[in-house]
């Protein structure tokens, strides 16, 4: 069984209402929210989970700041990774801030959920602008339908709620199983509160809680999508 190392890649900052990150928590309070994607390697495979926002069009969606060093290709080079060497990209979901830099990885196979590809063309009212359809459909995908093994040591499990086709990426490490939840929950406070809070941006609260129940059974270390605490470590585990 392959053991992976997981590197969070910090690629910029948006400012959001805190209640948009954690449902009904501190409405009206603006907070900075890091954009994060992930590089994974077992020493053999080089894998990205999500590809973050493209600075060329991020502004279309939401005010978004990024230093030169936070450009995804530069951020990867800083840890010694050449984008052309990435062999696998897994997208937790297809929102603009998770799936807009696919063009940086010309030699990768891209994995997305069938439900997400169907959902993104007709999302719930008000969520249309979070998807950049021309960018999404420039990529050719390996379509995953539900739970699946992607590589030795990496699998995905469908965890809807934030979007209908969101998936969590499960990664085997030397310290046990890790779960990259995408935006199922953005902040640790959502998972750690009692009762748990859902993402302020969701398609179904019930689906969020059903996905939480599914993840709870896996007994994995869960890493949320937009929490500064993620960046306290350069590498997991």
CB of 39 to Zn ion, least distance (A): 19
How is residue 89 written in tokens?
């990209």
With CB under 5 A as the contact rule, which of the stretches 26-34, 91-99, 173-181, 212-220 interacts with Zn ion?
91-99
With CB under 5 A as the contact rule, which of the stretches 25-33, 95-103, 110-118, 212-220 interacts with Zn ion?
95-103
| 16 binding Zn ion? (CB under 5 A) | no
Which residues ranging from 201 to 230 are in contact with Zn ion (CB under 5 A)? Answer: none
With CB under 5 A as the contact rule, which of the stretches 23-31, 90-98, 112-120, 136-144 interacts with Zn ion?
90-98
How is residue 124 written in tokens?
């719930």
Task: Name which of 46 and 93 has its Cβ closer to Zn ion.
Answer: 93
Reported as half-sphere exposure (CB side, CA atoms, 13 A), residue 49 has a value of 31
Q: Which x/- pattern over 151-190 shows residues binding Zn ion (rule: CB under 5 A)?
A: --------------------------------x-------
Q: What is the CA radius of gyration of the chain?
A: 16
CB of 225 to Zn ion, least distance (A): 7
Q: Which long-range contacts (CB under 8 A, 24 or more apart) does 196-199 make?
A: 197/22, 197/23, 197/24, 197/25, 198/22, 198/23, 198/161, 199/21, 199/22, 199/23, 199/161, 199/162
Q: Which x/- pattern over 24-43 shows residues binding Zn ion (rule: CB under 5 A)?
A: --------------------
CB 220 within 8 A of CB 177: yes
- Tokens 């990024």 sit on residue: 66
Which residues ranging from 133 to 152 are in contact with Zn ion (CB under 5 A)? Answer: none
Please select the residue that binds Zn ion; options are 46, 95, 202, 226, rule is CB under 5 A.
95
User: Site for Zn ion (CB under 5 A): how many residues?
Assistant: 2
Cα–Cα distance measured from residue 216 to residue 222, given in angstroms and rounded to the nearest whole number: 9
Task: Name which of 81 and 223 has its Cβ closer to Zn ion.
Answer: 223
How is residue 122 written in tokens?
């007709």
CB of 37 to Zn ion, least distance (A): 12
Residue of 134, 126, 91 lying closest to 203 (CA atoms) = 126
With CB under 5 A as the contact rule, which of the stretches 75-83, 88-96, 149-157, 202-210 interacts with Zn ion?
88-96
Q: Name the DSSP class of 128.
A: G
Residue of 22, 16, 86 lying closest to 51 (CA atoms) = 86
Task: Name which of 83 and 182 has its Cβ closer to Zn ion.
Answer: 182
Task: Name which of 52 and 151 has its Cβ closer to Zn ion.
Answer: 52
* Footprint of Zn ion (CB under 5 A): 95, 183
């Amino acid at each position: 069984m392959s053991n992976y190392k997981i590197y969070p890649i910090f690629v910029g900052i948006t400012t959001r209402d805190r209640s948009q990150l954690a449902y009904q928590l501190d409405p009206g309070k603006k907070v900075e929210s890091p954009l994060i994607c992930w590089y994974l390697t077992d020493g053999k495979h080089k894998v990205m989970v999500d590809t973050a926002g493209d600075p060329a069009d991020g502004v279309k969606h939401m005010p978004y700041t990024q230093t030169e060093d936070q450009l995804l290709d530069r951020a990867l080079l800083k840890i010694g990774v050449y984008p052309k060497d990435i062999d696998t990209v897994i997208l937790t979901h297809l929102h603009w801030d998770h799936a807009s830099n696919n063009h940086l990885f010309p030699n990768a196979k891209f994995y997305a959920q069938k439900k997400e590809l169907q959902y993104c063309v007709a999302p719930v009212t008000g969520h249309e602008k979070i998807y950049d359809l021309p960018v999404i459909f420039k990529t050719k995908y390996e379509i995953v339908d539900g739970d699946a093994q992607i590589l030795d040591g990496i699998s995905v499990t469908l965890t809807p709620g934030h979007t209908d086709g969101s998936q969590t990426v499960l990664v085997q490490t030397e310290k046990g199983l890790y779960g990259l939840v995408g935006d199922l929950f953005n902040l640790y406070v959502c998972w750690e509160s009692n009762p748990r809070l859902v993402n302020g941006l969701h398609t179904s609260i019930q689906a969020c809680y059903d996905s939480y129940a599914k993840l709870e059974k896996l007994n994995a270390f869960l890493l949320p999508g937009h929490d500064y605490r993620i960046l306290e470590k350069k590498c997991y585990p």
